Amino acid sequence: MLSSTKGFLTFISLERGIMVFMITMGATFLITRSAILPEAIYLGFIAFCGWSGVDAINNVYDVDLDVKSDPFRSDYTRNLGDLGRYIFVIFFILSISLGVITGIQLVTVFVALGIFAGIVYSMPPFRLRQTIYKPVVNFSVGAVPVLIVAAFFNVFSIQIFVLMVLVGISTAVNSLWEDLADFKSDLGAEARTILIVLGVKRGVYLTILLGYCLIPLMILVGILFQLTLLYFVILAALIGYLSVRIFKNRHVLFGGSNTDLESMLKVGELFAADFVLVALVFTINMMLSGYLTYQQLSFF
């Protein structure tokens, strides 16, 4: 029973669904500048269902690749057979239906846009997840939930555009971080992801550089939405954590030609886990900071 539950949660990539759910809730608090939980949860569930379906369809077509990177998920997906395809269809229908129930056409359009992005990302003949365009498609993972919230409340502004860009770029960069862990399986499948094209070492450098490039945007969002000091404290802690991890592995990262491929792959896998943790904590930070900021304001 536990194995089946774990397999299903892995199949729909629960951790990504939760992250998208929190992105949507955080966007709701920031866009409305109020701590409205019912609407935030409802919109979060729309996004959760949509991206659970996207990840399910991706794992159906990644079943052979996952043999190396995630054998447990690969075995579970293979055992599902055609049921795996029915599962992602159910999630898609549920997400679209919840969008239609809002009675706002633009919400449904953005939900459909997210699902379309997931289809071209995962399914043949597109399979953009195996191309250099993978981060571009993954931009939608963060951007679409923000657009859904903006459409639901009919609020569009420069601040919301900045928020959409920040969250979209964050999820795009996060896809590069995940590629560090999938490098061997992608290489075996003759994929043409950015890390395959650039090579492991330059790929690791690129992911680190892009991670630091997000910092000004993160600070700007905190300023534009007048978030509490807690937001900036946690952000500083994340930057410090990542910097320490890089410093500890400096001999492998900056060891010149003496660094062998296997050592770089191990460091890449280490950073892949670190970066995912950083992305998750930042998402929680943004959501909670938004809630706490506007909950406090509601008392005055």
28-32: Cβ within 8 A, 24+ apart: 28/149, 29/287, 29/290, 29/291, 29/293, 29/294, 30/163, 30/221, 30/225, 30/286, 30/290, 31/146, 31/149, 31/150, 31/153, 31/155, 31/160, 31/163, 32/153, 32/155, 32/294
**Whole-prediction pTM value?**
0.89
List the domains of the chain with CATH numbers: 2-298 (1.10.600)
**Cα dist. 263→205, 211, 253 in Å?**
14, 21, 9
Q: Are 145 and 118 in contact (CB under 8 A)?
A: no
Please give the pLDDT value at position 291.
Answer: 92
Structure tokens at 196: 């395959």
Please enumerate, as own/partner, the contacts of 294-300 that have beta carbons within 8 Å and a separation of 24 or more. 294/29, 294/32, 294/33, 294/34, 294/35, 295/35, 296/228, 297/33, 297/34, 298/34, 298/35
* Spatial distance between the Cα atoms of 180 and 200, rounded to a whole number of angstroms: 8
Question: What are 43's two structure tokens?
Answer: 């919109």
Per-residue pLDDT in tens (0 to 9) along the chain, 300 residues: 546 888 888 888 888 889 899 999 999 999 999 989 999 999 999 999 998 998 888 888 888 777 777 788 888 888 888 888 899 899 999 999 999 999 999 999 999 999 999 888 888 888 888 888 888 888 988 899 999 999 999 999 999 999 999 899 988 888 887 777 777 777 776 778 888 888 877 888 888 888 888 899 899 999 999 999 999 999 999 999 989 988 988 888 777 656 667 777 788 778 878 888 888 899 999 999 999 988 865 544
Angle CA(114)–CA(29)–CA(243) in degrees, nearest 5?
80
